[in-house]
Structure 1
C-alpha cells in the first residue's frame, strides 16, 4: 500500500489526505460525516450520519427502507455486520407461483428493511456519540431541502419512468408530475420527522413504533405479506469476515448471503494461474482475470443464498484445492463459457470513513435496481427496497423463496489489509459490478501500485454473461482487440450510458501510519472530505 509508485494519471479529482476522512458518492453526505467528527464523533458515528444523509440526497441508490452491510476495523481486528432483512414469514413458493413468479417491483418484492437496525447496532457496538446526536444534519437538510445533483437527477428520471405507478411514488418523487432536474431544490418534511423518531427511539420506531404502523398500514392496504411481527423481528447479525490472500495483501469480505465471496474466489483462482507472469497492459493477464471472474460467478449463482439454506458452505467454495481445479479449466488463449463446479462437501451507495484513532468503516446500503420496489410510505419519506426479487422459484436451489429467509444479496463492503500493516476500506457500488469492482480495485492498488484516485479513475471492464464483456470508454483499444481475438464478445460503453461500471470510494492508510489518503469516483456526484 505504498503511495504512489505508479505514474501520476490526470483526473478531475485529486487524492485527499488527512488525519480523518469520509468518502461518499454525494458531497452533502461527506459533509455530514465530517461535521459529526468535528463534534467529537468517531468514524462509525460519521458513517451513520453519512448513511442517513445519503437516504435523503441519493434516493436513487438507497433509502430508509434499504438493507445494509459493514466491515469495521477497530485498529486491531475486523468485525462484519450483516443487516439485510428476511422475507416475510408468510412468503412461500406457492404464493408467488400463483402470481406467475416473483415480481421485480411493488410490495411483493419487499423484504424487511435492515438499514436502520444496522445503524443502531453499529452505534451501540462502536459509536462514541449518542445515537440521537447523529441525525441533526440530515433533519436540517430534509427541512431546508437539497439541490439535486446531475448524476442523481439522471437516475431519478430513469427510475421515474418505471416506478411512477407504484404506491406513493409519484407523490413522493414526482411532485410536479416529473422527476426533478439538476439543481432543483427538493424538500422532504416527512422524512425529517421520520429521522426524529428514529433518533429518539434508537431506531426501534421504524420496527415497532409509529413508522412501523405506517409501513404495515400500507402493506395491508395493498394485500402484501409483511406484518408487524416481521418488522419487529428484524435483528442485525455480527459475522466473521472471510479472507483471501493475494499478492502482498488480503481481501476481506462478508460471508454469504452476499456476493463478496465471488471476489474472494476470483482472486483465489488467479493465484493458480500465470497472472503474475504478465504486466498490467498485457491482454493475457486481463483474459485470465475475466475468466476467473466468470468461474466465480458461475458458482455464486448456483450455490450462494442465506447460509442457513446453503448446501455448500463458503469454506468449501474457498477451498484452495477446489480453486486450483477451477483455475485448471481456464484456457489461457481462448474465452470460455463455464458452468458451476462442485466444491468439496461441507441503485446502491457505498461509503467509507476513517478517524484519527485508527477506526475505519467500510459501509454499503442499498434499495436495489435503483429506487427499489417503488413503494413509498405516505408522509414519511420512506421508500422500500425490492431485495425479494433476488429469490428464485427453483425448489432445488438454496435461494428458493421461503418465509423468514434472507435473499441472495448483491451489496458488499470490502476491506484490504497489507503485509506491511497498511489498511484500505474499499467498495464499488453497482449490482453485479461490485465483486468485479473489488477485484479490479485490489489489482489496481495492490499489484499495479496505483494511488487510490488513479485506481478509481482507471477504465473498468465487466463480465455480463457467456463470453460477453463490456469495456468502459477509454479502455486501451489494443487490449480490446486482443480480447476479441481470444474469443471475447466485446462491447465498449460510456460509464454514463447505464451506470453499469459502478461507483467506488477508497480510503487507505499512509505508509507513515499518521493519516489517510482517500479517493472518490468521478462517475458519481461525491467527494472525499477531510479533518485535520
Structure 2
C-alpha cells in the first residue's frame, strides 16, 4: 500500500526495510545489535545472539534494562516448531507485606524493587536453546562496561531527566553523576563495577547470582540502606518455562507472553477487533481509530479487574480469551460515542510494560525478547559495588486488600512487559514488540493491525502515525494525523490532544518473514536510536 493513500500526513518512509537471508538483529541500540550480529557471523544461533544483545543493552542502555531487572522471552526453535515462553520476572521479598507499605509503595528507592529475574531468564534460555558459553556471549558487554562507550544524546537526556532521583543515592550518583553532573554526549562512559559483575556471572552463572557472591552483596547493601532483600529471597527465585497464550486473528496465530505479563490484553483486544471490517473503514480513519481505542479499553478493563499472579490467584484467563466472550463483550462497543469509564466484563458462568529486540537466524530460529527496569532507571538505585541498577517493579502491585494484584510476600506483580510472535501455517510470519510501559499493548495492537489488516511493510507499520490512550476518554494523537481525524474523534467524545509528529512513547522493532524466498525483513523505529542490522 502506498503511503500517499493514507488519510494522514505520512511522508515517504525515511527508512527502508532491511533485508537478509542469513540473519537479522533489530534492537534499540546499534552497539547491542552489532554484538548480536557478531555472534551470528561467528556461527552462534539466534538464541546465542539474543543473549549477547541483551547483556550489551544492559550496559549501553542502562536506563531501560539492567542486571537487576526482569525479562520475558518468546522463543521459536525451528527444530521443534514449538513456541515457548520464559517468564523471568521476580517476586516481592518475603518481608514486603502490605503492612510494611502502609504509607504506599515508593516510586524510587530500594523498597520499590522486586527480586530481579532477568539473569535467571538469560541462564534458562542459554541452557535450553543456546550453543555458546556465557563467557563468550558476554564479551561485548564486558568490553563496553570496562572500557566504555560513547554516551549517546538520548542516554544523556535520560540521565538529565532522572538526575534528581539518581542524586538521592550515593551509589547511583557515583555511576551516573560522577563529578556532580551528567556525562556529556560523546564522552566515554565506563561502568567498571558492572564489568566485574558480568565477569563473575559469566564464570559462576546462576549460582553466583542467586545463591553466591552477587546475592550476598545485594542483601548486605539492602540491610545498609533499609531494604527488604535477603539471600533467601534470591535463592528462592526460579524462572518459568511455560506455554505462551495465543489466539487466531484473521487466520494468523498470534502468540503472546502469558501471565504475569499483561500480554493477554493484546489478544483479547484482537478478538474484539476481529468483529470489525477494518479494511473497509480504512487505515488511520476516525472509524478505525475509534474501534481500536475502544476495543483496547474494553480489554484493559478486564486486566484491571481480574489479573493477578496465577500461582496465587485464580482468575478467568481462558474465558477472557474466548471468541464467544469477545462477541458478548463487543456488544458494549458504541460506534457513536467514546466510553469515559469502561468497566470489566462478566465472565461468571461463561464457558468457553523497557527495551525490546528480536533476532532471527538462517536456520529459522526466532527470539522475541523484552527486558526492563519498569521506569527509566527503575528504582534509581545502583546496588552498591555490583553496579547493577534495581528495578521498581513493586510499584506494579495494588495495595487494596482482596484485589487479585494485591501485594503479598513472594508474589509477582502483573507486568506491562509483553511482545508478540505471529505464525502463518505453523511458520513465523511476524515478530515485534516495543518499550512503553502501559502503552506497549496499544502500540503492539496498532502495529499488528497495520500489517495484518492493511498489508503495510514492517517499516511503514512502525512509522505510521499512532494514537495513545491515557485512561478514560483521554486520547493523544501524533500530529501527522490530518485535522479531520482530530475533529472526528472529538465529535465522538474522545478528549483528544496532540503529540509530536514522532512521539517518544515507544520504539518498535519488527521482523517479517518471506518463506518463499527465505528473506528476513527488518524494521526499526525512527522515534529512537534503534537499528535493523543484517548479516
Q: Is the structural similarity TM-score above 0.5?
A: yes
Deviation per residue, 1:392-432 (Å, 9 max, x gap): 11112011100110011111121111248452221011101
C-alpha deviations, 1:332-370, integer Å up to 9, x for none? 111113111222358900010000100000000000111
Q: 1:268 aligns with which of 264, 268, 271?
A: 271
Give the direction of change, closer, same or farther, for the CA distance of 1:6–1:233 in structure 2 (3 Å limit): farther
Residue 323 of structure 1: aligned partner = 326
**Is the CA contact 2:279–2:453 (under 8 Å) kept in the aligned structure 1?**
no
The counterpart of 1:52, out of the listed 55, 74, 93, is 55
- The 8 Å contact of residues 458 and 521 in structure 2, kept in 1 or not, is answered as yes
> Secondary structure at the residue paired with 1:374?
coil
Question: In terms of mean alpha carbon deviation, does 41-50 or 130-139 score higher?
Answer: 130-139
Q: Distance in 1 between matches of 2:178 and 2:524?
A: 31
2:28, 2:357 within 8 Å by CA — same for their partners in 1? yes
Does residue 377 (structure 1) correspond to residue 379 (structure 2)? The answer is no
- How many aligned positions are there? 523
Q: Kindly tell me: are residues 443 and 225 of structure 1, through their superposed partners in 2, closer, same or farther at Cα, counting changes over 3 Å?
A: same
Matched, 1:124 2:130: no
- Once the two structures are TM-superposed, the CA of residue 274 in structure 1 deviates from its matched residue by 4.7
> What's the counterpart of residue 22 of structure 1?
25
Q: Are 1:151 and 2:154 matched, yes or no? A: yes
**Match in the other structure for 1:287:** 290
Partner of residue 476, structure 2: 470
Equivalent position SS for 1:23: strand
Q: Quick one: distance in 1 between partners of 2:47 and 2:266? A: 25
CA contact (8 A) 1:284 1:333 kept: no
TM-score (norm 2): 0.94
1:167 to 1:296, Cα distance in 2 relative to 1, 3 A = farther
**Structure-2 separation of matches of 1:14 and 1:351:** 18
Paired residues for 1:124-143 under 5 Å? 124-143=127-146
C-alpha separation in 2, matches of 1:227 and 1:353: 35
Determine if contact 1:147/1:186 at 8 Å carries over to the other structure.
yes
- TM-score norm. by structure 1 comes to 0.95
Query: Does the 8 Å contact 2:284/2:481 carry over to 1?
Result: no
The answer as to 2:197 corresponding to 1:194 is yes
Q: Residue 286 of structure 1: CA displacement?
A: 1.3
Query: Which residues in structure 2 correspond to 1:51-90 (within 5 Å)?
Result: 51-75=54-78, 76-90=81-95
Give the aligned partner of residue 429 of structure 2: 423
**Structure 1 residues 320 and 141, CA gap change in structure 2 (3 angstroms):** same
Which stretch has the larger CA shift, 149-158 or 52-61? 149-158
Give the C-alpha shift of residue 507 in structure 1: 1.1
SS at match of 1:383: coil
**Shift of residue 74 of structure 1?**
1.2
Shift of 1:513: 4.7
Aligned to 2:97: 92
Question: Equivalent residue for 1:406?
Answer: 412
Q: Residue in 2 aligned with 1:115?
A: 118
**Equivalent position SS for 1:47:** helix
Deviates most, 145-154 or 304-313: 304-313
Correspondence for 1:503:
507
Given candidates 386, 389, 393, the residue that maps to 2:392 is 386
The DSSP-based 3-state class of the residue aligned with 1:269 is helix
Whether 1:530 and 2:526 are equivalent positions in the alignment is: no
The runs of at least 4 aligned residues of structure 1 exceeding 6 Å deviation read none
Gaps of 5+ in 2: 5-10
Distance 1:273-1:15 versus aligned 2 partners, 3 A rule: closer
CA gap 1:445/1:255 in 2 versus in 1, 3 angstroms:
same
SS of equivalent residue, structure 1 residue 258: coil
**Matches of 1:340 and 1:301, distance apart in 2:** 8
Is this contact kept in 2: 1:391–1:407, CA < 8 A? yes
How far residue 247 of structure 1 moved from its aligned partner, in angstroms, is 2.0
Query: Post-superposition shift, 1:27?
Result: 0.3
Distance in 2 of aligned mates of 1:218 and 1:257: 28
Provide Cα deviations, 1:184-231, integer angstroms capped at 9, x if missing partner.
210111111111111111233121222222111111112211100111
